[in-house]
Structure 1
Amino acid sequence: MSFTLWKALASEPKVLINGKRSFDYFRKLAGNPKLDEFFVDAVALAELFPDLPLAGDSALDKLTMLADNPYRTYAVSLSRWNASGGLERKMEASIPPTTRRVDHSGLALIEIWCVEPPLAQNYQGIVVVDPLHLAITYSDQKLFFDERVSLELGNLLEELGYEFENRWA
């Protein structure tokens, strides 16, 4: 499914019994702007893109009570990534993470988006992707695997007027 957030926002929302809008329904209409994710050298990424917004668990860490991973996650549009020449993939991202101990030191997780990530500044002045865009980048697999992410994302969605119909699916 292609990414159509604005069409999803303009459509008639599915309203749940508690008056909140169904995030599951909205997410199906909107699609996911994230095309790919993988690990790159963190220093090289900061040199190539010093202004990238936090995304994924790093953004959720700034917007909620979630504790971030030992590495940062950033978002960049595919067109900007391609125009820069990109960076070498150091490691693939996987859900669930590999069972063996992996050293992420010196790495950053980059998310490649089909659109320029809309920005929001959180209370600490740190630039993160817009919360609604952030929310739709999480896959069912990630939400099922990581209960802490699912819980905090649910809390964030509640602030935005949405709720999961199937919280752990």
Structure 2
Amino acid sequence: MNVVMANQPNLLAYLKRELEFEFSNGPVDLRRVRNYVSSPRLFDFYAKGIELPGMIEAGDTYLDRRTMLADRSQKTFALSYADWVQHQPRVEVVGNFAARDSSIMNIQVWPYAPAELDEFQMAIAVALAYTKRELDAESRISSAIDDVISAYGFFTDEF
């Protein structure tokens, strides 16, 4: 068994092959995918609103666009580590801010360019970028992830 990243070409076919037995019994628990695909989130930080090349919606913001999940005031975006290194001097990282301050954004740094992922790869990457602590703190996130990945034959009952 190899652990791959979400940008693995033909990721869905890879998972269906690796989890063939599980798929033969119906939808597969997304927790099993954590054994085959790594989280893309290297680190994250809050920053004063800035648009950077290669930055796309991730986390709650991604899920909010596709489900009934209500996003927080701080939108979440992902960008590649290479883009982060290139643009870091332009970014104003912040530590403290008001809960409703929508000028602040959460930026996740991933090892690859999130904009290059197909829809399935992005759905898996977003799902796996959540930590157990984040999922435990807000049960609606698991439900929103389930809404996005159920079309691919996965479920998140205890994700």
Q: Shared fold by TM > 0.5? A: yes
Q: Is the 8 A contact 1:53 1:119 kept in 2?
A: no
Q: CA deviation at 1:153?
A: 1.2
Do structure 1's residue 24 and structure 2's residue 16 form an aligned pair?
no
1:51-83, CA deviations, whole angstroms, 9 ceiling, x for partnerless residues? Answer: 521111000000111111112111100111101
TM-score by length of 2: 0.78
Of 78, 82, 107, 1:75 maps to: 78
Secondary structure of the residue that 1:133 maps to in structure 2? helix
Runs of 4+ off more than 3 Å: 118-121
- AA at the equivalent of 2:124: L
Of 39, 53, 63, 2:46 maps to: 39
- List runs of 5+ in structure 1 lacking aligned partners: 93-100, 122-128
Do structure 1's residue 152 and structure 2's residue 144 form an aligned pair?
yes
Q: Is the 8 A contact 1:3 1:33 kept in 2?
A: no
Q: Counterparts of 1:103 and 1:69 in 2: how far apart (Å)? A: 8
- AA at the equivalent of 2:125: H
Secondary structure of the residue that 1:76 maps to in structure 2? strand
User: How many residues are aligned here?
Assistant: 148
Q: CA deviation at 1:21?
A: 2.1
Of 12, 18, 24, 1:12 maps to: 18
After the TM superposition, which residues 78-89 of structure 1 pair with which residues of structure 2 at under 5 Å, given as runs? 78-86=81-89, 87-89=91-93
- AA at the equivalent of 1:107: I
More helix by share: 2
Q: CA deviation at 1:30?
A: 0.6
- AA at the equivalent of 1:113: W
1:130-162, CA deviations, whole angstroms, 9 ceiling, x for partnerless residues? Answer: 222211111221111101111111222212211
CA RMSD of aligned residues (A): 2.8
